[in-house]
Amino acid sequence: MVLGEKHRQEIWTGSVVDCDVHAVVPQISALFPYMDDVWVTWTTEREYPGPGHVATIYPPALTTTARDEWRPDDGRPPASELRLLRDHVLDPWDVDRAVVNCYYGIDNVRHPDLAAALARGVNNWLIAEWLEADPRLVGSMVVPARDPAAMIREIERVGSHPSIRQVLFPVRNDRLWGDRIYHSVYEAMVKHDLVMGLHWGGTTDGPPSPTGYASWFAEEYAAEWGNFGAHITSIVSEGVFRLYPDLRVSVLEGGFTWVPVWGWRFNKEWKALHREAPWMDRAPFDVIRERMRFSVAPADQGPPEAMERVLEWLGTEDILMFATDYPHGHNTDIGALLDVMPESMRPKVMSETAREWYRL
């Protein structure tokens, strides 16, 4: 059974690539074998629990954060072990390949050396216990997002590992990702042929929206898509793709239904004001269609007729990629989404686009 109710073959009989599944660090001691001794001592001396406590990612009392069937019965954190991923997603979906993302919140660590040490630990752990342990898996590396030089050092260290295909960028950040201080990071990524994975979450002391802090969880959740829009606007406007025309950007867990309508707006502003940023030499929405891909978890689905129109407005069959976002409980009805697509688009969404994007 997949997604609680259906068998995989009822939804899709072709090849599947899941472009967003999570590996959750169960507790910080899981990273100790993969961290430098000095930082293990630092952690144990202070009884530091780590930045991304699982209670804050998939709080047990908040059932919408993880699907019920994906919470282990024995109370272990969801998605904290490869075997869970296999049992819950890889095998039932008969996945060809999956891209594993570990969001551990190291980007909110302000201690620059600890952040870098934790990044190394997470990347080493992910490679050893997940990516190298199952040939179906590739993954994203994490980086200490406050320090561009440290980001580059980590990219140079593990960026060319054969299983590493993407760098995870949190969508909550102190600055917009198009900012020039990050341009040399993109240069390093392109050198290692890595995708930029713009992902939900990030520094917990950063606002979830471009205009500030929410008062309630529901508001926070609903507001987060705004950060995705802000970062994409920044990346395109700052000329990142002029400098690095081969850079690929994935938008993960950011939705996609908002893209066309805002894309029209972006095009319009650019038509009138492009003299301000004369390196913007192409319609921004065209750049987005070419250089970016969006996962369908969540899909933020409206009624089928409306979804059909949205897909038409997106204007390309190549822009969406299937994801479960395991263990998150988005309740995306992937079958309903496939139904409103042209037939030719379905295999692209379910595997072909991600295969090309991540060189699988």
Q: Which residues bind another protein (CB under 8 A)?
A: 180, 183, 238-240, 242-243, 245, 271-275, 277-283, 286, 289-290, 315-318, 342, 344, 348, 352-353, 355-357
In angstroms, give the least distance from the CB of 239 to another protein.
Answer: 3
In angstroms, give the least distance from the CB of 157 to another protein.
Answer: 28
Of 59 and 239, which has the nearer Cβ to another protein? 239
209 φ, ψ (degrees, to nearest 5): -135, 160
In angstroms, give the least distance from the CB of 352 to another protein.
Answer: 5
Quick check: 200 and 224 in contact, CB under 8 A? yes
In angstroms, give the least distance from the CB of 127 to another protein.
Answer: 26
Of 72 and 239, which has the nearer Cβ to another protein? 239
Of 88 and 291, which has the nearer Cβ to another protein? 291
Of 219 and 281, which has the nearer Cβ to another protein? 281
Of 304 and 342, which has the nearer Cβ to another protein? 342
Of 178 and 197, which has the nearer Cβ to another protein? 178
Could you tell me which of 221, 228, 296 has the C-alpha nearest to residue 263?
Answer: 228
In angstroms, give the least distance from the CB of 19 to another protein.
Answer: 13
Residues in the chain, overall count: 360
For the chain, the straight-line distance linking the first and the last C-alpha, in angstroms and rounded, comes to 26
Of 233 and 353, which has the nearer Cβ to another protein? 353
For the purposes of burial, counting CB atoms within 10 Å of the CB of 4, is it exposed (0-12), middle (13-18) or buried (19 or more)?
exposed
In angstroms, give the least distance from the CB of 10 to another protein.
Answer: 25
In angstroms, give the least distance from the CB of 350 to another protein.
Answer: 12
